[in-house]
Amino acid sequence: MTSAETEVMLAYLEDLRLHEASDYVRRGRANEGKSAEDLEQEWLTGFRAWAESSARHKAFDRRSLDDLEFEMYLRRVEPPFDLVKNEIEALRVAQDRRFKWLAHDPEAFVSLHIRMGNALGNFVRGLLTGQKH
């Protein structure tokens, strides 16, 4: 990936994060009254549960974890990623496993590729035309 492509991808991911944080605010900021310490502890618990689910090939509903992250984002507090290094590695391994599975399912791979390409394309088109996507 070129430097420009990386910058576009990072801008897309930040834009996605802003939209999702806005949705969290529209839904009423369920975690607004929590202390920073409570947010961190709940986030750690949720992140570890997500990694455990991925390691066991189980689905995980990330909504509450995401909402904790959005509250932290709004407060300009970074989640404590340094405390979940092993879990991050477990998620990376699980993601690698999913990509290997996709390599054996051409239809699923093409579908994912199209969805990702469309989302990124719509974002770039919006940047170029000044329109929201």
- Whole-angstrom CA distances from 76 to 26, 82, 122 are 18, 17, 28
pLDDT, average across residues 101-125: 81
Q: d(Cα 32, Cα 42) in Å, to the nearest integer?
A: 13
3 state DSSP class of 78: coil
What pLDDT score does 64 carry?
96
Domains of the chain, by residue range, sit at: 3-129
What pLDDT score does 132 carry?
64
pLDDT, average across residues 102-106: 80
Q: Is 28 exposed, middle or buried (0-12, 13-18, 19+ CB in 10 A)?
A: exposed
**Which of 1-15, 17-31, 67-81, 100-114 is predicted least confidently?**
100-114
Answer yes or no: pTM beyond 0.85.
Answer: no
What pLDDT score does 95 carry?
85
**What is the H or E stretch that residue 44 is in?**
helix 36-55
Q: d(Cα 63, Cα 31) in Å, to the nearest integer?
A: 12
